[in-house]
Structures are given as structure tokens and as C-alpha cells.
A and B are shown apart, each in its own frame.
Chain A
Amino acid sequence: MKKYLTLSLLVFLSFGIYAQNIPSLELKTIDGKTINTDTLNKIGKPVILDFWATWCVPCIKELSAISDNYDDWKDDADFEVIAVSIDDSRSSSRVAPFVRGRGWEFTVLLDPNQEFKRAMNVVNVPHTFLLDKNGKVVWQHTSYTDGDEDHLFEMIQKLNKGEKIKE
């Protein structure tokens, strides 16, 4: 009996081994263009997919840290940053001036009814995913501490070299 229970548990756990692709949803950028999230599967380079909100202090710290290093990192590695704001209609109009006012240069998407957040099973923000060049989730992390961005950059460099990521 024990053997079968173990086997079924292994089968269940094996589900986790298969890396997640990005589901297909229509979201708007802060410029008003509509983007389908499944294009994230086809970018062809590693992507930092970062869920944040204008009222979330650690989220802003994380994206500020990424933004501070953005130019230097872009010189040394090939990657994209997609920041998805889960601000609802109370603060979603403020996202554009907020992002521009801080001088952030990466792509920002608006998810005002948290559809993308639900589809990606995010519990709390900040929540950051790292996608490989095929759009598969190879790493994810919740909350932010100073220095997390350096670890992110290390992993991007590894992905650029074609190495695999371990948690």
C-alpha cells in the first residue's frame, strides 16, 4: 500500500518539475497600448517579471534598485524587465506619472483587476519571476531585501551563458 501512495505522491510532485509558461492575457502598458502576455514567451532573452504596486514600499525599493543598476546591467547582459502593477482603478492612473517621475525605463503593464496576478498565483507583492529565453519560469521570489537585485543579476548572467538555475 505504501508503495502506491509513494508513487502517486511522486507523480503529483513531478507536476512541479515541469516549468510554467506564461498564460495569455490582454493587458495595457502605461502608454495605452495593448499587449498579450503570451508575447513574454517569445521575447528570446531572460525576463524579470516583477509584480508591484505604487503603495508597496518594498516593491518600490526593489524596482528602484533595478532601475539604478539598469544601464550598467544592460551593458553586461541581455535581458528585459517587465513590471506589472497590480494597482486597482484607485491608483492605476497614477502609475504612469509615478514611473516616469522616477525615471524608470522598463516596460510597465497595468493589471487593475489582478487577473495576471491570479493567473500567476501571486499571493503578495513584491513577487518576482525570472523567465528564461523560452519564457519558462525558472525562479520566483516573494518580498525584497537589499541585495536581492544582485542575486537576480547573477542569475541573468548564468541564463545568458545557458546555465541552469537552482533555487
Chain B
Amino acid sequence: MKKRYFILFIISILLFYSCDKITPPYVEGGNGGGTNDSVNYVKKVLVEDFTAHLCNNCPRAHKTLEELKELYGDKIVAIGIHVGDLAAPLTQNYFGEDFRTTVGNDLDNYFSASNAGLPVGMVNRKKVNDNFLQSYSEWGSSINEILQEPQWLNIVTSTSFDTTSRKLNVTATVYVINTFQADSGLKLCFYLTEDSLIGWQKDADNESGEDVSNYVHRHVLRAALNGTWGETISLNTNIVGYSTSINVNNFEVSTDYNENHCYIVTFVYNVSTLEILQADETPILH
């Protein structure tokens, strides 16, 4: 009687015994860019990376985001939002840059990012397990899942920039690709980002010391052209092909920003869930 239990137990242990030993290479082959997109619209996902120059673990998130961009190509639109006490400048020659913005602070206050601990981010502001915020190691699987959903909207953005007056005009046309419900309506945001800003960054993984003085800051959020939360657009989401246009005129781009590295990130989101339906990125200079 007792012997039987013992044998049963051993068998059940063997059934539990399972493991996946992975042999190199550890990195996936990837299916980024260059696939058979015979139509000229592409589903694009917005990744917002809350970061700061004094945050020594943030470079890990930056590296992950760059790897994902390499994998997915233009399917990812990325923004780095510098927030919190760790983004405050120290002295003029040592961590002197200040990449904080009104729009960044608004987003930080609403989503409680710096409270949760940097680095942290959002993918299409879509809630996972009831949370907007996700650690950088989770962004890849979220992007993967979202890209398997249908493309709801397409956004085509056009910009015209006058280098003398530094005035910028932006127009975006939004098309319905697949129908969906948005009972409280949709809003559209125009964010201005600047890429390749050289400055200081603390990097815990840097072999020669934590303080890096010539770090390349990517896609830094600089301003919101039409408010942190954007403007309402009227779109009949039940009709495929329905489109609407919205524009912002005479936005003055600060002389501190290098227009050659500036981009407009456009995205449309569902007002009731805050979830972003489509994103787009266009340089201000062509």
C-alpha cells in the first residue's frame, strides 16, 4: 500500500521534471523591416521611455529600445521622456543639461512614472495587467502582441519648416483602415522630439566608470504642439476609408533645437481608455 504511493510519487516527480536549456544564439532571428508589405500603410506602435540622465539603470532600457527599433524598423516610434528629480541638472559643466518639459512633467504626474522608479515605459499607453507602466524587459512582448492586432488607423503627416523664421506648420490626415468603436471619441497629439543630443548620462554598465560625458540621447521629447493631451478629431470609425485632417500652424521651434534632428511624432488615442491606436514620425526638414 505504502510502496505504491512511493512509486506514484517518483513518477509524478519525473512528470514535473521539465526544463528548457537554450543553446546559443540566444537572440531571435527577428522579422523586422522589409517584409512583404504590398500596401503602403504600416501599423506603428508608440513606445514612451521615461528616463533621466542621473538614472544609472536607464541605459539598459535605451539599449533594449534600440534593439527593438532595429528589429521592427519603422513599426516603432520611440520617445524618451526625461522626468523627475534624476533629470534635474547638477552644475553647468557636470550633468548640466535639462531635458525636462511641461508635457513630460504632465505625463509623469498622470502616469506616476518617476514614483514607480526609472527606467519605466509605456507601449501604446495600453494597460497590461491593469498597469500603464511596464519595465523595459516587457516592452518587446507587448509590441509583439500589439503588432498582431489589425491596423485601425493610418496617419500621414506633412511638415513645412521655415529656417529663417523658425516657424513650423504641421498637417496630419487620419484614415480609418479597420472599423472599431470609440464611444468617447478620439484625440490627436503632435509631439516634437529631437534626436542625437550629446550630453551626460550615468551608466551602471559602463566599464570605465559610471559618468559618461558624451552620451547620445535619442528621441528626446521637447514639446507638445497642441497640448499634452492633444485635440479632438472627428472621425467616423465605423466607415473604412473615412478620413479627417488636422493642422497646427506657426509653431515656433526654439533656436536651442537642431532642426536637422527634429521630428514630429503624431499619434491618435481613444479618449476613454487612453490607448494609442496609431503613431507616425516625420522629420521637420525634408
A–B contact with Cβ pairs below 8 Å: the answer is: no
